[in-house]
Amino acid sequence: MNLGKLSLRLRIFIAMILLVLLASILIAAVTIYQYNEEARDYHKERLERKEENIKESIEYAIKKTTYPVTTENIALIFKEEIYEIAAIHKLQINLYDLDGELIKSSKPRFVTDSISKCLDPEVLNVISNTYEHRFVSKTVEGGESFLSSYTYITDKKFKPLAILNLPYLENDDFLNKELNEFLERLAYAYLLMLVIAISLAYFLSKYITKSLKTISDKMNETRLEKHNKKIEIESSSEEIAALVKSYNDMIDQLEASAVKLATSEREQAWREMAKQVAHEIKNPLTPMRLSVQSFQRKFDPNDENIYQKVDEYSKTLIQQIDTMSSIASAFSNFAKMPAQQNEMLNLVEITRLALDIFSEDYIVFQCEETEIMAKLDRTQLIRVITNLVKNGIQAIPDEQEEKHIGVKLFEKNKQVIIEITDNGIGITEENNRKIFEPKFTTKSSGMGLGLGMVKNIVETYNGNITFTTQKNKGTTFKVSFPKD
């Protein structure tokens, strides 16, 4: 999982949960370590207490004995007493001479073979050469841990008589039970904390990222062509306030830039429009000038065909004047759309009516509904449909055998959608961005105002027009209007 691709809110949420889990694991580990340390200290101190008590009992037995107190008589002195002392203190007792040979043990005779008969030289060396004259070793047998202490037994003059060995089993059953109970309670506590942390992390991350979400939504709504509202957030942090201020400053700069850009685009558009008008008007003026000049040179009142020639010249001039009139009308229609006469229309009927003016039999209308009502201007809607169908017809080469124009009308998500599909030559990639420009055309005739006018009408109704195209396969224009 790539954390860099996760949202800030989710990262905050995961971080807080991981923090609680890490804290619980760390405390559990520290608790287990502490219990183990306490268990070791407990067994160490308990062994020392047992050792002191047993030594006191041994000293008492030595005081009341009638035997001479020597190493050789240790076995006789503790012939019976060693069992009594072991029973009282509930601990095994082994007695070794100063050379490390076993003298007496509180274990029954049939199990004494399991006891070491001779001490390790290291034990003897540590006892004799340390200040405390004591040695403690730890061994593990059969999965159980044992401590063994070795220390001197002395007479009244503190002369060593023998070596006392106390094997001690480290029984941790009680401590382990306590630890398990504590860990169980800790688990319940942390489970509750985890639930609380999840809830807290959810609401806290939501609160932290709420301001960022507001800023993000505003940024997504920001458009160059419309008025953008500034962000107003109360009680925000210093960082969020700085971000909001930067955004609001950007909005001011964007609006100023948009005004400049719109002014520049309008000026450029009018310049281009003026060039286009001049170009279109010059086209019919040239043949008109040539016709007048030719008529002026060849005029002969006595020519028997004078009336026929005047008629031909007149037709040529009228034809070019009509062309100029159509140019003027087209630019007038584009520059100033007629006032909208919105009324509730059945778009199925209006679309059929718009298609009736075409005589091509390959135009197919498709609509699953008999009635789709919307409030639009009848004339402008017909103009949109006829312009798009006309473009589709012109996009299909005359020599193409199979021709098809599909007009589809349907509703979707409170939108009325009109799709017009042709199987013509398609639109080249370089012309994709220019297709809705007022002066752009790929035809040898016409002024290229049709699609620009269609886009103007559609956007007047807060609609949208898009297209998809494939070279030599055709183009689909999709027009959508809000139904309400």
Q: What pLDDT, on a 0 to 100 scale, did the predictor assign at position 277?
A: 65
**pLDDT exceeds 50 at position 386:** yes
Last residue of a domain, one of 293, 319, 335: 335
Residues 13, 35, single domain; the answer is yes
189: left (phi over 0), alpha (psi -120 to 50) or beta: alpha
**pLDDT exceeds 80 at position 171:** no
Q: In this structure, are residues 378 and 345 in contact, taking their beta carbons and an 8 Å threshold? A: yes
Question: Greatest CA span in the chain, whole angstroms?
Answer: 183
Residues 331, 371, single domain; the answer is no
**Burial grade of 211 (CB within 10 A; 0-12, 13-18, 19 or more):** buried
Q: What pLDDT, on a 0 to 100 scale, did the predictor assign at position 477?
A: 92
Stretch among 38-47, 92-101, 160-169, 404-413 having the lowest mean pLDDT:
38-47
Residues 171, 315, single domain; the answer is no
Q: Which amino acid, one-letter code, is at 86?
A: A
Calculate what percentage of the chain has a pLDDT beyond 90: 9
Q: What pLDDT, on a 0 to 100 scale, did the predictor assign at position 438?
A: 55
194 occurs within a structural domain: no
pLDDT band with cut points at 50, 70 and 90 for residue 265 = low
* Average pLDDT for 142-152: 81
Q: What pLDDT, on a 0 to 100 scale, did the predictor assign at position 10?
A: 75
Averaged confidence pLDDT in the chain:
77
Residues 428, 363, single domain; the answer is yes
pLDDT band with cut points at 50, 70 and 90 for residue 174 = low
Query: Can you tell me whether residue 330 is helix, strand or coil?
Result: helix
- Percentages (nearest 5) of helix, strand, coil residues in the chain: 55, 15, 25
Q: In this structure, are residues 39 and 31 in contact, taking their beta carbons and an 8 Å threshold? A: no
Q: In this structure, are residues 240 and 211 in contact, taking their beta carbons and an 8 Å threshold? A: yes
Residues 171, 55, single domain; the answer is yes
* Average pLDDT for 278-305: 68
190 occurs within a structural domain: no
* Average pLDDT for 83-94: 87
Q: What pLDDT, on a 0 to 100 scale, did the predictor assign at position 34?
A: 83
Q: What pLDDT, on a 0 to 100 scale, did the predictor assign at position 364?
A: 93
- How far does Cα 467 stand from its chain's mean position? 32
pLDDT band with cut points at 50, 70 and 90 for residue 360 = confident
Q: What pLDDT, on a 0 to 100 scale, did the predictor assign at position 190?
A: 79
Pairwise CA distance, residues 366 & 418, whole Å: 10
Residues 419, 321, single domain; the answer is no
Rounded to 5°, angle at Cα 53 from 48 and 55: 95
Q: What is the pLDDT of residues 185-221, one digit of tens each?
A: 878 887 888 888 788 777 777 776 666 667 667 666 6
Domain CATH number, residue 457: 3.30.565.10
Rounded to 5°, angle at Cα 415 from 410 and 416: 40
Pairwise CA distance, residues 100 & 450, whole Å: 118
Compare 237 and 428 and report the one with higher pLDDT: 428
Residues 447, 372, single domain; the answer is yes
Query: Can you tell me whether residue 390 is helix, strand or coil?
Result: helix
Residues 135, 8, single domain; the answer is yes
349 occurs within a structural domain: yes
Rg of the chain (C-alpha set): 53
Q: What pLDDT, on a 0 to 100 scale, did the predictor assign at position 381?
A: 86
Pairwise CA distance, residues 457 & 387, whole Å: 12
Residues 7, 137, single domain; the answer is yes
214 occurs within a structural domain: no
Last residue of a domain, one of 335, 355, 388: 335
**Burial grade of 75 (CB within 10 A; 0-12, 13-18, 19 or more):** middle
Residues 133, 154, single domain; the answer is yes
222 occurs within a structural domain: no
**pLDDT exceeds 50 at position 236:** yes
Last residue of a domain, one of 128, 152, 176: 176
Q: What pLDDT, on a 0 to 100 scale, did the predictor assign at position 77?
A: 84
Q: Return all residues near 188 (Cβ < 8 A) that are at least 6 apart.
A: none
**pLDDT exceeds 90 at position 405:** yes
213 occurs within a structural domain: no
Residues 11, 144, single domain; the answer is yes
Identify the residue whose tokens are 């308990």: 46
Residues 394, 456, single domain; the answer is yes
Contacts 24+ apart (CB under 8 A), 151-154: 151/51, 151/55, 151/127, 152/127, 153/55, 153/58, 153/59, 153/62, 153/74, 153/95
Domain CATH number, residue 32: 3.30.450.20
Q: In this structure, are residues 36 and 179 in contact, taking their beta carbons and an 8 Å threshold? A: no
The tally of domains found in the chain comes to 3
Q: For residue 447, what are the domain limits?
A: 342-482
Query: What's the residue count for the chain?
Result: 484
Could you please report the per-residue DSSP string of 41-98? HHHHHHHHHHHHHHHHHHHHHHHH--S--SGGGHHHHTTTHHHHHHHHHTS--EEE-T
| φ, ψ dihedrals at 39, nearest 5° | -65, -45
* Average pLDDT for 315-344: 65
Q: What pLDDT, on a 0 to 100 scale, did the predictor assign at position 285?
A: 67
Q: What pLDDT, on a 0 to 100 scale, did the predictor assign at position 286?
A: 62
Pairwise CA distance, residues 457 & 443, whole Å: 22
Query: Can you tell me whether residue 376 is helix, strand or coil?
Result: strand
**Burial grade of 438 (CB within 10 A; 0-12, 13-18, 19 or more):** buried
Q: Where are the alpha helices (DSSP H) in 299-357?
A: 306-335, 347-355
139 occurs within a structural domain: yes
Compare 418 and 20 and report the one with higher pLDDT: 418
Domain CATH number, residue 285: 1.10.287
